[in-house]
Amino acid sequence: MPLRQSVRLAGYLAKQRILHREKFPLLVELEPLFACNLKCAGCGKIAQPAALLKRRMPVEQAVAAIEESGAPMVSIAGGEPLMHPQIDEIVRQLLARKKIVFLCTNAVLLPRHLHRFTPHRNFAWMVHIDGLRERHDASVCRTGVFDQAVAAVRLAQGAGFRVNTNTTFFSSDSPADVVDVLDYLNDDLGVDNMQISPAYAYGKAPDQEHWLGVEQTRELFRKAFADGRRRKWRLNHSPLFLDFLEGKLDLACTAWAIPSYSLLGWQRPCYLLDDGYAGTYRELVETTDWSAFGRGNDPRCANCMAHCGYEPSAVFATVGSLRQSIRAAVGH
């Protein structure tokens, strides 16, 4: 992330330490709707009842939830956020409150809606691209979406926006697939930063065959990151999280630091599981038995290496170590 944002995050972390807060959010996954214009095989979000798919979160509710949590960063997802009629207003109001905002999108609707947004130093698009043309179109179950996403990225870049990408990998991906798509996004498309994730085994997703196990994930990334490639890619992750993906170290889950707020409330315990909802972030933190979750504690967590559980753990380990802080600062 840009230096200015890293400094802000460091200040936020220092403040939590001074206030002796043990659990606090780094980033909220805000889902102001569940509806989407695609039906990806690996999606665990769109299998909601029809009445819920029609609902849109009011702007005031979205902003109040983020304010209550105190999080410095917000990732707006869904569903497809560009199907929310006031999504631009939600973004504007969060930026006015000095939040760092990422707007996740499959980019199909982006060209039609780009004029509603203005480039801002704390705003970035986060475009979903799971692979090169054939692989991405298979992942989103529609031909032509890769080309639409690439065209939308170029349009947004040309209009002066920061553009990041988010790529999810499945057991059908080889290390060469990982290398090819990251090389393309980094060198050819020239996006600002890239986020990567092993797919989480959503019980509600239509495709139940292609989830990665922990050892498969480690092998996939160990091979993909070999020969110094990891250093050249502009990955939007801390070095320790990438070490974690490669299996060089293990971390405990800290899902309370990247909570999810949707039309249903604060999701317990995380964006991926669904053990009920709390009315406020404070209630979520205080009424969840966090020791019951994470690998080794809950069978549903057994294969999870998702960033919502483990990137905060890597960030906390980084700021607690001078050596790791220097590594993060130089991007290795």
Q: Which residues bind ligand SF4 (CB under 6 A)?
A: 36, 38-40, 43, 45-46, 78-80, 106, 128, 140, 253, 255, 269-270, 272-273, 293-295, 301, 304, 306, 308-309
Closest distance between ligand SF4 and the C-beta of residue 211, in Å? 12
Question: In the bound complex, what is the minimum distance in angstroms from residue 215's beta carbon to ligand SF4?
Answer: 16
Write out the chain in H/E/C secondary structure: CCHHHHHHHHHHHHHHHHCCCCCCCCEEEEECCCCCCCCCCCCCCCCCCHHHHCCCCCHHHHHHHHHHHCCCEEEECCCCHHHCCCHHHHHHHHHHCCCEEEEEECCCCHHHHHHHCCCCCCEEEEEECCCCHHHHHHHCCCCCHHHHHHHHHHHHHHCCCEEEEEEEECCCCCHHHHHHHHHHHHHHCCCCEEEEEECCCCCCCCCCCCCCCHHHHHHHHHHHCCCCHHHHCCECCCHHHHHHHHCCCCCCCCHHHCCEEECCEEECCCCCCCCCEECCHHHHHHHCCHHHCCCCCCHHHCCCCCHHHHHHHHHHHHHCCHHHHHHHHHCC
Looking at beta carbons only, is 28 or 270 nearer to ligand SF4? 270
Toward ligand SF4, which CB reaches closer, 39 or 121? 39
When the beta carbons of 12 and 290 are compared against ligand SF4, the nearer one is 290
Q: Is the previous residue joined to 79 through a cis bond, with omega within 30 degrees of 0?
A: yes
**How many degrees, rounded to 5, is the angle at CA 268 between CA 267 and CA 274?**
80
Residue 153: CB minimum distance to ligand SF4, A: 15
Nearer to ligand SF4, 313 or 318 (CB): 313
214 vs 319, beta carbon nearer ligand SF4: 214
Q: Report in angstroms how near the CB of residue 228 gets to ligand SF4 at its nearest.
A: 30
Given the complex with ligand SF4, which of 43 and 122 has the nearer CB atom? 43
Q: Smaller CB distance to ligand SF4: residue 65 or 301?
A: 301
Q: Which residue is nearest to ligand SF4 (CB)?
A: 309
Give the nearer residue to ligand SF4 in terms of CB position, either 72 or 294.
Answer: 294
Least Å from the CB of residue 240 to ligand SF4: 16
Compute the least distance from the CB of residue 272 to ligand SF4, in Å.
4
Closest contact distance (angstroms) between CB of 145 and ligand SF4 is: 9
Shortest spacing between CB 130 and ligand SF4, in angstroms:
9
Classify 248 in phi/psi space as left (phi over 0), alpha (psi -120 to 50) or beta.
alpha
